[in-house]
Structure 1
Amino acid sequence: MAGAGHAPGRGWASKRMRDSLMVRVALLLTLAMLPIGIIMIGQTWRAMERNSEIFASTLLAQTSAIVAPEREAIHTTMGVAGTLAGALEALDPPLGACEALFARAAQENPRLSFIGLIDMDRITRCNTTDTERDFRERPAVRKMFAQAEPTISFTARGAVTDQPVIIFAEPVMNPQDGLRGFVVVSFPVAGLGFESVPETGEQATVVTFNQDGEILTTSGPGTAVAPQMPLGVALRGLVGSPPVTFRARTAGGEERTFAVVPIVRDRAYALGSWSPVTGGASGGTWFTGATLSFPLIMWAVTMLVALMALNQLVLRHVNALGRRMRSFADIRRIYRPAESRRAPTEIRDIDDAFERMATQIIRDEADLENALREREILLKEVHHRVKNNLQLMSSIINMQVRKVHSDEARAALRQFQDRVASLASVHQALYQEPSLTRLRVDVLLEDIVAQLATLGSADRSGAEVVRELDPVTLMPDQAGPLAMLATEAVVNAFKYGGPDASGDFRILLKLALDGQGNDLRATLTVENTVASEGRENDGTGLGRQLIAAFASQLDARLEEESRADRFIVRVTFVPALFDPAENEPPTTGAQP
């Protein structure tokens, strides 16, 4: 029995894809390019780091250039304050000399709006306004004396100028008494101007702040600067840091780059807020991703070119050769597509070798088929001649039967004639069958029983022969003994059977198959009715001996069952296995 075919599932298709030449080459190329890719990524990363360093240095330099006017003003003012404080500590001049010293300093630095000495009682008597002023109620002055160190601060409304000013306070020390007061110098913010961005002219958002994180100046109105400041970053936390850049999101939701530049270390700093790409330097996430993806793009392009070349030069020709091989295996067709002429030399050599092999196979198959046909013709001729000789013998026996007057001799000759006719039927069936390796025994038994019924009717008239024959195909080694066994059993049924109590004389010949595969069994049953008054068995027992001998040749189980009104002979055997496809008549030879 042929097993049902199973269509390939997803697992088979997946394994086929994994084992394909394209996938294996892709994996090998990936492994081969992996060290180069790692080196490229490392070099790209180092180039990005170098680019980031250049970018940071550029922003720091540009921020420093923008606040250059403030740096100059702050350093100048700090120098004036420090010089005056040092002069007061060294000379301890009287009030008039003090005022003259401050007046000369103001004359040399016209940008300064106020110079004065605030005593320990928070009152300035020596100043450039020639007026005593009381600063005891000023919070900034109280904070200045509380810290007792140099400070820079901003006030939106100066006590003297009534304008926004930046105030520098330098402590004046006395070797005996310690702190004597503070030299206070201020200059107006209105006089400062931020420079444009070098090379681009772009105006950045820049603020300056003191050591307490208080904003001193801005590059624009406060309302415009506030949205450009880093969100969640306190200016006080930037005090003391070296020149540095960082990225942060602003209060306005924009991600920007910030540069911190010290103006006076630990006292004044500048913070520049820049767009993500400024002055030709790149620092965005997109740029980083694009740069790092360059090795991947190179890998993808290399793989694409390599696999396209592999497919163009090898795979498509190999696939075409595979289709030719399958076509040859299925229908024995040999063809060569035009594209194979453009294949590489190695592939063309394989194509030529395949064509030579296929041509030789077809020739060998044709020679083998001719030899088999000649063999079949010879065997059929042998069976035909044997059948003719057996029929001639049957005719001679029939002529002899007419001349014999003894009933016993006539019966013996008739039985011998039956056996010869059965053998002739077997050889006739082999001669008529398209294949010599199998016989339809149901058709063979039909012919044999028809002949025996005709011969038996002379001895037992009125017998009804019932045939229940399943289609069964056997090899000649089993078909011959089975036909002879059926002949002996049917002859005995005619000879010793008879009408039952109802007056019917019936003979049943049944051939059935049961089971499948290794459990397949064939059963031949010959059943005949028996006369109710019984009949004397005057035979020699040769028929039963022959039945037992034929059953032994079939390696079969022989059973005999005798009942009141019938007699049964049953033979069960295992049919020899062969390819079920051979049950079909052979087709013509393969197409060259």
Structure 2
Amino acid sequence: MRLRLAALSGLWTPNLALQLGIGLSLAILPLGFVSVYQTYKVLEERQALSETALLEQTQQAVSESRDIIQSALSTAETLAITVSVFDTAEATCDAVMARVVEESPIYSFAGFVDDALSLVCASNGGRQDLSNLASIRSELTGRRTEILMHPLEFIGGIATVSVAVPVFAAGQFRGTVWIAVPISALNDQLSTVVPDVDLVLFQSEGEIVATAEFSDFRRSVLPASHGLQDLADTGRQTFRDVNQDGNTRDFAVVPIVGDRVLALGSWEPRHRSGLLPGYEGTFALYLPLAMWVITIIVAYIGVNHLVIRHVRRLRSWMRLYAAGRGDLDKARLDNAPEELEVVAEAFRAMTRRLSEQERRLEEDLNEKTVLLREVHHRVKNNLQLISSMLNMQIRATGSLEAKHLLRRVQDRVMALSAIHRYLYLARKLSLVRADKLLEDIIQQLVIVGTLDDRGRQIAVTTALEPVEISPDQSVPLSLLTTEAAINAVKYCGMTSGTDAWINIALKAVSEDRFCLSVVNSRAPDGQAAEGAEVTPIDGSGLGSKLIESFVAQLNGTLEISPQPDRYELHVVFPMTWPTQDEDDA
């Protein structure tokens, strides 16, 4: 479990540049927070100044309009006091009203409406019953000062801003003084004061009095989320909203005639930034982000130039050295820091020491290999000398039984000689190709298909797979094959005159287990070669004992299966791996 967790944790490791970038980012994070906070405060102050400026601009822009309305209101209040002195039915009242309009060109009408809603006195000398005008009935009978906008027929049908002031005498309501100002005068005034500010005058009830552009689209400059009556109830204020056209604007509300007439001004937000929604500002807001980006770039370039490229160079040296390149003593870094130069020099010194040790080990190994091959060569020569001496003894012996026994010994000696000859010629001494070794031994036993001194022909076939075994197993396997082949000759049934055959096979039954099989034909009716035992299974001769001994040395299992027409010998043995010393050799 620990190994698995370690492997999972090592799937991804951030590089040095990334780690340094993260560290520097965390280091400048408090500075970024401070900068953002201060910038946000500056923007708040700037927004507050912008709102204050909008309030001042709006108040200054409507100052003349306020003076006009305030003048009409003052005049109406004065007439409301004086109209009760003279008889309204006389021409004096008309003259007074006409004089007021003459003295103030901004007025288009002045008149008095009695409590019966009859126009009894007017600057134009008109008389009219107003009781049928439902649109102004409430203003005329409301007994309070009203400021409203109506296009009235008795004023000529033009749109006007009217001031209605109630008249009281002896505590009794006698009527209403009416003064009208053409709305065009207010509209012209609002449109020429501040070009970039949209201005609207409205009543406390929410009715528009005048606008900078008095057209069918005059309501397009109003805020979409705020009603005029709600704004009148709130009074002096500033806010941000979208207008009826969908444009974001800053709005300011300023009372100009008490709480009855108010002005609404709006303009585009000042110092607006389209890069960061919700913020209005300057590059100062982006300074922390710019600092972070610059820090990451500097960290990456600096670390890559000073450290990473040299580390990669060292890594490439290590890979080349691991791949077998030993000529790295002259490898140098390009303007590396002193610490990395020390590491590079330590690596070069290590490669020199390892190369020297490897050279000495190679020399020692070559020397030991030469000595070992020489030992096998001399042992092979000595065994061949012994075989020659046995051959001389065979020729000098007159007894057939003695010759037979000496030839058996000679075959065993030649099998050992074949092993040492193979090891002398082999390129790899830690493992032995069993198929080639057994092929050499069988070739020595079979001379032109003859295995007997009487000249009898025996068909010998082999099926040897390319199997590698340890040198310790080569000796018992070779001697086992020799003894099994010699016994097969004895029982292959040549005396009957029928065809005799021997099959020798070596194959892998699993990844580390092998099987040696020696199968030979059997003499019919139990006849065997001259001097041979009748049943090799139950025999107690030297060959049977040797076979059992060699099988034990291989840690294998022996299986002998006699059939009516053949004998089968099967030995299954495991692979014994060479020791470390043998592998080095």
**From 392, 402, 412, the counterpart of 2:405:** 412
Please state if 1:235 is matched with 2:224: no
Secondary structure at the aligned position of 1:559 is classed as: strand
Q: Find the aligned partners of 1:339 and 1:523 in 2 and give their Cα distance.
A: 58
Contact 2:96/2:123, CA 8 A, preserved across alignment: no
Contact 1:17/1:23, CA 8 A, preserved across alignment: no
Tell me by how many angstroms 1:478 deviates: 0.8
Specify the alignment match of 2:424 in structure 1. 431
Please state if 1:186 is matched with 2:180: yes
Secondary structure at the aligned position of 1:456 is classed as: coil
Contact 2:476/2:550, CA 8 A, preserved across alignment: yes
Specify the alignment match of 1:553 in structure 2. 553
* Per-residue deviation, residues 79-100 of structure 1 (Å, max 9, x unmatched): 3334554x46xx9534379949
**From 275, 289, 299, the counterpart of 1:296:** 289
Contact 1:65/1:195, CA 8 A, preserved across alignment: no
Specify the alignment match of 1:58 in structure 2. 53
Tell me by how many angstroms 1:406 deviates: 1.1
Tell me by how many angstroms 1:284 deviates: 5.6
Contact 1:499/1:529, CA 8 A, preserved across alignment: no
Q: Which moved more, 1:299-308 or 1:451-460?
A: 451-460
Contact 2:17/2:299, CA 8 A, preserved across alignment: no
Tell me by how many angstroms 1:391 deviates: 0.6
Distance 1:404 1:336, change over 3 A: closer
Secondary structure at the aligned position of 1:259 is classed as: strand
Specify the alignment match of 2:41 in structure 1. 46
Q: Which moved more, 1:51-60 or 1:536-545?
A: 536-545
Q: Which moved more, 1:264-273 or 1:487-496?
A: 264-273
Q: Which moved more, 1:233-242 or 1:432-441?
A: 233-242
Specify the alignment match of 1:311 in structure 2. 304
Q: Which runs of 5+ in 1 are unaligned?
A: 1-11, 587-592
**From 28, 32, 44, the counterpart of 1:37:** 32
Q: Find the aligned partners of 2:471 and 2:13 in 1 and give their Cα distance.
A: 51
Contact 2:558/2:572, CA 8 A, preserved across alignment: yes
Specify the alignment match of 2:571 in structure 1. 571
Q: Taking structure 1 as the reference length, what is the TM-score of the superposition?
A: 0.84
Please state if 1:345 is matched with 2:338: yes
Aligned residue pairs total: 559
Specify the alignment match of 1:3 in structure 2. none
Q: Which runs of 5+ in 2 are unaligned?
A: 1-6, 534-538
Distance 1:326 1:154, change over 3 A: same
Please state if 1:75 is matched with 2:44: no
Specify the alignment match of 2:4 in structure 1. none
Specify the alignment match of 2:271 in structure 1. 282
Secondary structure at the aligned position of 2:154 is classed as: coil
Q: Find the aligned partners of 1:418 and 1:130 in 2 and give their Cα distance.
A: 161
Q: Find the aligned partners of 2:576 and 2:85 in 1 and give their Cα distance.
A: 139
Secondary structure at the aligned position of 2:265 is classed as: strand
Please state if 1:141 is matched with 2:175: no
Specify the alignment match of 1:544 in structure 2. 544
Q: Taking structure 2 as the reference length, what is the TM-score of the superposition?
A: 0.85
Aligned ranges 1:109-508 → 2 under 5 Å: 109=104, 111-125=106-120, 134-157=129-152, 159-160=154-155, 163-173=158-168, 176-177=171-172, 179-192=173-186, 193-194=188-189, 202-223=195-216, 225-231=218-224, 233-274=226-267, 276-277=268-269, 281-283=270-272, 285-286=274-275, 288=277, 295-335=288-328, 340-454=333-447, 456-459=451-454, 461-499=456-494, 503-508=498-503
Secondary structure at the aligned position of 2:343 is classed as: helix
Distance 1:565 1:187, change over 3 A: closer
- Matched to 1:560, the amino acid is I
Q: Find the aligned partners of 2:245 and 2:12 in 1 and give their Cα distance.
A: 53
Q: Find the aligned partners of 2:84 and 2:466 in 1 and give their Cα distance.
A: 141
Distance 1:53 1:396, change over 3 A: same
Q: Find the aligned partners of 2:175 and 2:402 in 1 and give their Cα distance.
A: 168
Q: Find the aligned partners of 2:332 and 2:240 in 1 and give their Cα distance.
A: 60
Q: Which moved more, 1:237-246 or 1:521-530?
A: 237-246
* Per-residue deviation, residues 49-78 of structure 1 (Å, max 9, x unmatched): 222222222222222222221011122222
Secondary structure at the aligned position of 1:65 is classed as: helix
Please state if 1:22 is matched with 2:14: no
Q: Find the aligned partners of 2:346 and 2:67 in 1 and give their Cα distance.
A: 91
Secondary structure at the aligned position of 2:195 is classed as: coil
Tell me by how many angstroms 1:420 deviates: 0.9
Q: Find the aligned partners of 1:145 and 1:163 in 2 and give their Cα distance.
A: 19
Q: Find the aligned partners of 1:49 and 1:110 in 2 and give their Cα distance.
A: 46
Specify the alignment match of 1:7 in structure 2. none
